[in-house]
Amino acid sequence: MSGIAFEQPAGGFVFDNCRRNDILLKNNVLPGKIHKTGTTIAAITYKDGVVIAADSRCTAGNIIFDDNVLKIHRLSDNIYALGAGTSADCDFQTRLLESQLELLKLNQDRQVRVATAVRKIQQHLFRYRGYIGAYLIIVGVDVTGSHIATVHPHGSIAFLPFVASGSGGYTSLSVIEDRYKENMTEDEAKQLVRDALYASTTTDLYSGSKINMFVLTKEKLDKFLPYEIVAARTEKQADYTLAKGTTEVISTNVKKIEFDIVNEKVKATGAHEAMELA
Amino acid sequence: MGDDMMSYNGGVALAMKGKECVAIVCDKRYGIQNKTVATNFTKIFQYGDHCFVAFCGLATDVQTVSERLRFRTNLYELREQRKLKPLVLYNMLTNLLYERRFGPYFVYALVIGLDPKTGETYVFDSDNIGAISDNVNLATVGTASDYIFGLGELFFKPNMNADELFEATSQAFLNGVDRDSASGWGAVVYVVEKDKVTVRELKGRQD
C-alpha cells in the first residue's frame, strides 16, 4: 500500500476501482444515480449564421437538481457545443476539446474549423466505443460557412441544416421540421427555435425552467441568458425566517480564522508623513 | 434500501448560502444497511481556511476520496505556494472523480467556500463521476436529500446573515432527516464567515 500515497495523477482514466465495483454489481448491488442532463437542445442555420438554444434543467432521477444550468459549452470563439446525456461526460469532454482546439489555434495561428472540432471529438468518442455518454451538437462559423453537426456517443456524425436532441429533442424537432425554411432572417430563426424549446420545456419532464440562446455569425455572438423564462417559480406566500435560538444546540465551537496582513497603510491626519507598515 | 451502494451506509449533507457566509451540515450515522454501527461518523472535511467538503455515500469511499483529495490539495499548496480557493478545490475534486469515470467511487460531494477578500460565497455539488454544477444557492446529497431539498427551498432566502443561515440550514436538515431511517443521530453544522468558522453540534432524534 506504500505506493498509494505517492501516486501522482498522470492524466487519463483510472480503472483501479473497476474490479471491486464489478464484484459489487455481481452481488446485485446497484450503483448510485448519476446526473443526466435530460435535456432539450436545438440548433438551426439561418441566412447569416446559426441559432442555438438549450433549456436549463439538470435532473437526477425525478429530482430537479439545478434549474439554472448552462448547457452551451464554449469550444472556441467561433465554435460552441450543446450537450445532452451524462452531465459529467458532456462537461469534461467539451473542456478537453476546448483546450485541444485552443492549442491547435495557437500552433497554426488561424481560426479552427468546425470540421476539425467534430472530427477530433468523433475519433475520441469512437475509441471509447460509446461508453462516454455524450450526445453533442457542435455548431460554428468558419471560413467555409456556418455548420451544425450532431455527434453521438459511438462516434457517428451528421452535418445538418437543423437538429434537436435530448429527451425533449423529438418534440422540438417536430416544431422545427414543420416551419423550417432555408435562408430565414435572424428574427424568424430565433422565434422558431424559441417555439421549439417552448414546446419541449412545457411537455418534457426532464427539460424546463429557462431557454438559453446564442446567435452566432461571422461578425458577432449574441448571448441571451436567458432568452425567456418559461416557468418562473412563484413568490413565497409567507416569510419563513426562523428566530434566533430555534434550533437546539448541544455544543458550539468557534474557530477564529487567522489571516496574514499583506499590506497595511496608516495615514496620519496631520502634517506628518504617511507611515507605511509592511 | 440496502441494495444500492449509495445508501449502504446511510448519511446526508446539506449546504446553503448566505450573505458573506455559507453553511454546511451533515448527520452522524454510520450504518451497515439497516444496522446502526456508530453515531459519530461525520462527513465534513476541511481543506482550507474557508473551504469545506462533505462526502455522502459508501463510507469506505468517503474516507478514501477525502484522503486522496487531502493529498492533492496539500501538494497543490506546497507546489504553488498559495492558498486553495473554492473553485480550485472543486475542480480538483471533480477531476479526481471523473478520472474514475469507468470505475467510480460511490460518493456524492458538496463543496462550500468563501472568498475572504470579496465575501463571495460558493456552493457546488457533484455526482459520483464528477458532474460539474454551477455555483448554486443550496445543494444536498445523501439518503435524505430528496426530503431535504424541499425544506431547503422553503427556508432559503437570499442574503441571510450568519444566524439566519444557521437556523434555516439546521431546521431544513433536521426535519428532513427525521423522515429518513438511514441517516440521523444528530448533526454537525459549520457556518463559515470571513473571520471565523462556527461549529455547532445539534441534537437530533436517536433512532
pLDDT per position as a tens digit, B159-196: 999 999 999 999 999 999 999 999 999 999 999 999 99
Chain A partners within 8 Å of B84 (Cβ): none
Nearest CA in chain B to A27: B3
Give the closest residue to B112 by CA, choosing from B80, B143, B140.
Answer: B140
Q: Is B137's pLDDT higher than 50?
A: yes
Cell numbers found for residue B136: 448554486
CATH class for the region spanning B5-198 = alpha beta
Q: Cα–Cα distances in Å, from A130 out to A124, A127, B97?
A: 10, 8, 20
- DSSP for A20-73 reads HHHHHHHTTPBPPPPPEE---EEEEE-SSEEEEEE---EEETTEEEES----EE
Q: How many CB pairs under 8 A join A and B?
A: 165
| Region for A18 from its dihedrals, namely left if φ exceeds 0, alpha if ψ lies in -120 to 50, beta otherwise | alpha
Rounded-to-5 percentages of helix, strand, coil across chain B: 30, 30, 35
- Widest Cα–Cα separation across chain A: 82
Of B4, B131, B203, the CB nearest to A35: B131
Question: Which residues neighbour A31 within 8 Å (Cβ) at sequence distance 6 or greater?
Answer: A21, A24, A25, B4, B5, B6, B104, B106, B128
pLDDT of A33 reads 73
| Chain B residues near residue A20 by CB distance under 8 angstroms | 103
Contact A43, A83 (CB under 8 A): no
Phi, psi of A97 (to 5 degrees): -65, -40
One pLDDT digit (tens) per residue for chain A, 278 residues: 445 555 666 778 999 999 998 888 888 777 777 776 688 999 999 999 999 999 999 888 888 888 888 999 999 999 999 999 999 999 999 999 999 999 999 999 999 999 999 999 999 999 999 999 999 999 999 999 999 999 999 999 999 999 999 999 999 999 999 999 999 999 999 999 999 999 999 999 999 999 999 999 999 999 999 999 999 888 899 999 999 999 999 999 999 988 766 777 887 766 555 454 44
CATH topology of domain A41-229: Glutamine Phosphoribosylpyrophosphate, subunit 1, domain 1 (3.60.20)
Residue B185 identity (one-letter amino acid): W
**Interface test with chain B among A4, A36, A242, by most B beta carbons within 10 Å:** A242
What pLDDT is attached to residue B2?
46
Looking at residue B4, what DSSP letter applies? Answer: B
By C-alpha distance, the chain B residue nearest A249 is: B202
pLDDT at A147: 97
State how far the Cα of B126 lies from the Cα of A66, in Å rounded to an integer.
11
H/E element, B64: helix B59-80
Taking the C-alpha atoms of residue A134 and residue A148, their distance in angstroms, rounded to an integer, is: 16
When scoring A20, A67, A71, A92 by the number of chain B Cβ atoms within 10 A, the one with the most, hence best to mutate, is A92
CA-based nearest residue to A40, from A179, A160, A195: A195
Domain ranges of chain B: 5-198
Q: Smallest Cα–Cα separation from A185: which of A41, A43, A49, A42?
A: A49
> In angstroms, rounded to a whole number, what is the distance separating the alpha carbons of residues A214 and A226?
10
Residue B4 is predicted with a pLDDT of 84
Gap from A64 CA to chain B (nearest CA, Å): 9
Tally the residues of chain B: 207
Residues of A in contact with B113 (CB under 8 A): none
Assess contact for A135 and A83: CB atoms under 8 A.
Answer: yes
pLDDT for B199: 97
Cell of B25: 451540515
Contact A80, A73 (CB under 8 A): yes
**Rounded percentage of chain B residues whose pLDDT exceeds 90:** 94
Contact B135, B123 (CB under 8 A): yes
Calculate mean pLDDT across residues B129-148: 94
> Residue A217, class by beta-carbon neighbours within 10 Å (0-12 exposed, 13-18 middle, 19+ buried)?
middle
Q: Determine the residue of chain A that is closest to B146 in CA distance.
A: A63
Distances from the Cα of A132 to the Cα of A60, A238, A271, angstroms = 18, 45, 70
Nearest to A213 by CA among A205, A202, A223: A223
Sign, Cα dihedral of A84, A86, A92, A97: negative
List CB contacts (< 8 A) between B163 and chain A: 244
